[in-house]
């Protein structure tokens, strides 16, 4: 695969822009997976094996990814929208190549799998793999998501029991149940859901006569938000992390 085509597939601009980056000496390529330093390459048409390739563009190292899978620690006061209405978009937290990755000839970039409210923090997955987004979003897979909920009023066993048994929301006569629920302390509820309705956690908590003061998603499937991934930071999903997710949706 030509180097300019590799860069194009990874979101570094049109093929002409990618060729220009290479010809200006702004791209270096690692000769092997364990190479300590990259080598300069100024030939846009130079051929490389894309799988496993590492390269450096304008001083930043990148791994070749046929499909991008990443996690983001969503901070408060951000919106999961390309066109936010009030707060900054989560996509501004990502480097431009991830936002410009082409799909079927058009610029699409990575997309968030589901959304978190502007005041909700925590684990968010993003990818440019449409099939993976569909599998993760499909109700039939019942992907569990764990939320850490800070509530206004003290919790009691009755509230926990109601959430497990099922509560009725305004727009749906069918009771909505928590897959798991525990009171961690008097004002901290750990809630696991396998479906995603609009403002579901807030509405479920309101249905048991309490109120959400803060909401944080700590886990999706078997994947736990790493303690060292700070709000606003992102990272590639490791193969191990992908396996934890695929076990749920396979």
Tokens of 216: 């944080």
For position 210, what pLDDT does the model report?
98
Q: How many CA atoms lie within 13 A of 135 on its CB side?
A: 12
Q: Does 3-63 match 144-220 in CATH topology?
A: no
The CATH number of 3-63 is 3.10.290
Q: What are 159's two structure tokens?
A: 């509230």
CA 88, 93, 97: angle at the middle one, nearest 5? 125
Class at the top of the CATH hierarchy for domain 144-220: alpha beta
Q: Is 117 a catalytic residue?
A: yes
Long-range CB pairs of 60-67 (<8 Å, 24+ gap) are: 60/95, 62/10, 62/97, 63/236, 64/6, 64/10, 65/10, 65/236, 66/9, 67/127, 67/128, 67/129, 67/132
Continuous segment of H or E residues that includes residue 21: helix 15-23
Q: Where are the domains of the chain?
A: 3-63, 69-139+223-249, 144-220
Q: Which of 117, 119, 156, 172 does the annotation list as catalytic?
A: 117
Global confidence as pTM:
0.93
| Second-level CATH architecture of 69-139+223-249 | 2-Layer Sandwich (3.30)
Task: Give ∠ CA 116-228-179 in degrees, rounded to 5.
Answer: 45
**Residues 6 or more apart from 193 whose CB is under 8 A from it?**
144, 145, 147, 178, 179, 200, 201
The tens-digit pLDDT sequence of the chain (250 residues) is: 999 999 999 999 999 999 999 999 999 999 998 899 999 999 999 999 999 999 999 999 999 999 999 999 999 999 999 999 999 999 999 999 999 999 875 658 999 999 999 999 999 999 999 889 988 888 788 899 999 999 999 999 999 999 999 999 987 788 999 999 999 999 999 999 998 888 999 999 999 999 999 999 999 999 999 999 999 999 999 988 888 776 766 6
The whole-number pLDDT of residue 108 equals 83
């Amino acid at each position: 695969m030509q180097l300019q085509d590799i860069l194009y597939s990874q979101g570094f601009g049109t093929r002409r822009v990618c060729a220009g980056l290479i010809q200006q000496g702004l791209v270096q390529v690692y000769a092997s997976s364990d190479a300590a330093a990259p080598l300069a390459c100024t030939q846009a048409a130079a051929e490389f094996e894309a799988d496993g390739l590492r390269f450096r563009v304008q001083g930043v190292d990148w791994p070749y990814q046929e499909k991008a899978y990443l996690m983001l620690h969503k901070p408060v006061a951000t919106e999961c929208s390309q066109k936010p209405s009030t707060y900054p978009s989560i996509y501004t937290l990502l480097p431009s190549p991830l936002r410009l990755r082409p799909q079927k000839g058009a610029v699409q970039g990575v997309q968030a799998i589901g959304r978190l409210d502007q005041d909700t923090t925590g684990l968010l997955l993003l990818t440019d793999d449409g099939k993976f987004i569909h599998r993760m979003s499909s109700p039939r897979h019942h992907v569990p998501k764990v939320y850490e909920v800070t509530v206004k009023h003290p919790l009691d066993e009755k509230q926990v029991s109601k959430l497990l048994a099922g509560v009725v929301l305004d727009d749906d006569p069918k009771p909505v149940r928590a897959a798991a629920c525990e009171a961690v302390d008097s004002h901290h509820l750990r809630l696991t859901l396998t479906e995603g309705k609009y403002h579901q956690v807030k509405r479920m908590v309101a249905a048991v006569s309490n109120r959400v003061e803060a909401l944080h998603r700590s886990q999706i499937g078997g994947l736990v938000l790493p303690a060292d991934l700070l709000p606003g930071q992102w990272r590639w999903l490791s193969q191990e992390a992908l396996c934890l997710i695929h076990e749920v949706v396979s």
